[in-house]
Amino acid sequence: MKNITYLIICLIASLLINNVTFSQNFDNNFLFRNADSSSNIVNTNWQFDPSIFVNIGYGKLLQIAEKKVEISAGVGSPIFLLKSFDNISLTIDGSTFLLKDKWNIKSKLGFKYDFFDNTLSKGGNFSTYISVMPGYFTKKWFAGIDILYRQQFLTYMKHHDTYKQNFPEATEGWYENRAGFFYFSAKGGYLFHNKIETTIRVSYKMPKTLQLYPPFSVAIAAGIGINYYF
Amino acid sequence: MKKNIYFLLVISLALLISCAKNDINQSGLLVPKTVAEDNTLPVFELSDKTKIHLETFGTNTGENVIIVLHGGPGNDYRQYLNLTDLQDDYFIVLWDQRGTGLSERVDEQEISLEQYLADLNEIAVHFSPNHPITLIGHSWGGGYATYYTQQFPAKVKKLVLVEPLPLNKNALDNMEFPKIIITSEEMSRFLGTADFILPDTHATADYMMIVSGIINDDGDYFSSDEKDKVPYYRYGYAAYKAISTDLGLMDNTADYDFVAGLKETFKTKVLILGGTHSSRLGYDFQKKYHENLFFDCQTEKIENAGHYMIVFNAPTILPIIRNYLNN
């Protein structure tokens, strides 16, 4: 346990020099294996990027066409914007395991809506994401490499007066947004008392152009999460 | 029933996407059009056919040309319009440097310090073919002006530097860089936007450049009221990145020296203006690290002024500049 705490502290400290954004996903992988005793999960995730993003969520295990599928929903916000609560993100996704062995692949499909309010504009953004995570999953712990691709498709913009003073013709409304980002993450988790799971991750974000745009896109983030099953 | 729900979902999504008539990557929507896209804007075509946003004020007598060099790199000339008050005696050239402001966007590979030197030389020769010019440079533009003077000392009549960026490595090493405050709301807001806007086109990159505020720092302002009142047309990410990379500022390898040899080759008095409320490049910094780099230098302290004194303190600084130019 001490080692895990030490590892988490090191991860947080190392991120203070990095600059990237967050991704917002549950890292629970025991729900399928604990289906006899649990089919619900509540979760909190903390992402360091280097600002801090906090997410809370709920997941439910369902049986769909003889397949166990977990449906999750979450709401999150940068912790330093909780007061104004104007940059919240909403997610809904479904995930399932593709195999029945300890060596397995978890797949996920989800949708995300971000409310944003920056120095020039405010609005919202729709995106969808898909991920696969090959890994090793036991009753007590898991480790895997997650590859997530997130595709933006619609962004709503309403510009602040300060921006309109400089550019009165700035167009408001829905924009088609073709941006896309890959998130490569190393993830792991450990289950305590069959109910509480802690997870960690280190992520690398890369635009779909496979090119970074300093200082806008430095690519490393980390996250910790706690899941409770009932 | 299930099939109907899925069908409705797909149709709703398709309708929503079809409502989005605006392309986030297109100039003129999220950011203004450049001279390459709007032929009503004042334009100057360089010899390589690159279109530059350029405007002149006053009457050109052949000996009274002042070329203004804006800051950044990657800013534009809108905040220098107060300098046109000098047009009763001088011919003022305001222009957006290659790849920024409302000048045509070009690939990052086409922007370099050497190219910038050639661009300025071409503009100088065009407007003042037979006489040296006066340069007024602000911030990065002050470094640019000094660099041009170093390379072409005989072509510069007078040199006005308004809080120039560090002119050599020693000055750079002693400059206080803007602090990145992880807990700030601005940082969180910027990171949130960077999560869905990809700066892979000029339009989105230039938009993100303003959102990030990477050119500006809170310490640059006399008061917080000033921060949202500095006017601009459009920033240029490619120009910012290319010139910052050339200077070695992106990877902390900077060892440029815009003043080496200048004391021997340029003996005209240089005017430097520094504000009392500019935390990085203000009067104290200019006096300590820049004044002695020139053969003859007059460093003026501008009271109650920040880095954007040309916008907010024009009534104070214009008489000082005019007096320097007339003598």
Reply yes or no on whether the pLDDT at A25 is more than 50.
yes
Reply yes or no on whether the pLDDT at A15 is more than 50.
no
| Residues of chain A with C-beta less than 8 angstroms from the C-beta of B182 | 16, 50-51
Residue type, B297: C
Tell me, what CATH number does B248's domain have?
3.40.50.1820
| Residues of chain A with C-beta less than 8 angstroms from the C-beta of B21 | 173-174, 176
The CATH code for residues A2-15+34-229 is: 2.40.128
**Closest to A97 in 3D by CA, of A127, A58, A131, A59:** A131
Cβ–Cβ under 8 Å, residues B32 and B41: no
Mean pLDDT across chain A, nearest whole number? 84
More confident: A51 or B313: B313
Cβ–Cβ under 8 Å, residues B296 and B268: yes
Q: Which residues form the domain of B293?
A: 43-177+239-326
Instruction: Check if B19 contacts A (Cβ < 8 Å).
Output: yes
| Residues of chain A with C-beta less than 8 angstroms from the C-beta of B232 | 166
Reply yes or no on whether the pLDDT at A7 is more than 60.
no
Is B196 part of a structural domain of the chain? no
Interface test with A, best of B177, B193, B228 (most A CBs within 10 A): B193
Instruction: Check if A118 contacts B (Cβ < 8 Å).
Output: yes
* Residues within 8 A of A (CB atoms), B 167-206 only: 180, 182-200, 204-205
What are the residue ranges spanned by the domains of chain A? Answer: 2-15+34-229
Is B232 part of a structural domain of the chain? no
Q: Nearest CA of chain A to the CA of B133: how many Å?
A: 31
Instruction: Check if B61 contacts A (Cβ < 8 Å).
Output: no
Q: What are phi and psi of A15, to 5 degrees?
A: -80, -15
* Residues within 8 A of B (CB atoms), A 194-223 only: 207-209, 211, 213-217
- Residue B51's contacts (CB-CB under 8 Å, 6 or more residues apart) are B34, B35, B36, B43, B44, B45, B103, B104
Instruction: Check if B107 contacts A (Cβ < 8 Å).
Output: no
- Band of pLDDT at residue A1, cut at 50, 70 and 90: very low
The answer to pTM > 0.95 is no
Number of domains within chain B: 1
Is B209 part of a structural domain of the chain? no
Q: Which two tokens stand for residue B71?
A: 């800051």
Q: Which residue has the tokens 């047309």?
A: B233
Helices (H) and strands (E) in chain B, counts: 11, 9
Query: What is the full DSSP assignment across B154-211?
Result: GGEEEEEEESPPPSBHHHHHTS-PPP--TT-HHHHHHHHHHTT--TTSHHHHHHHHHH
Count of CB pairs separated by less than 8 Å, A with B? 147
Contact A154 B205 (CB under 8 A): no
More confident: A1 or A212: A212
Instruction: Check if A230 contacts B (Cβ < 8 Å).
Output: no
Tens digit of pLDDT per residue, chain B (327 long)? 556 666 666 666 666 666 667 999 999 999 999 999 999 999 999 999 999 999 999 999 999 999 999 999 999 999 999 999 999 999 999 999 999 999 999 999 999 999 999 999 999 999 999 999 999 999 999 999 999 999 999 999 999 999 999 999 999 999 988 777 778 888 888 888 988 999 999 999 999 999 987 656 677 877 777 888 899 999 999 999 999 999 999 888 999 999 999 999 999 999 999 999 998 999 999 999 999 999 999 999 999 999 999 999 999 999 999 999 998
More confident: B169 or A220: B169
Contact A175 B30 (CB under 8 A): yes
Is B246 part of a structural domain of the chain? yes
Interface test with A, best of B5, B191, B202 (most A CBs within 10 A): B191
Q: Which residue of B has its CA nearest to A111?
A: B13
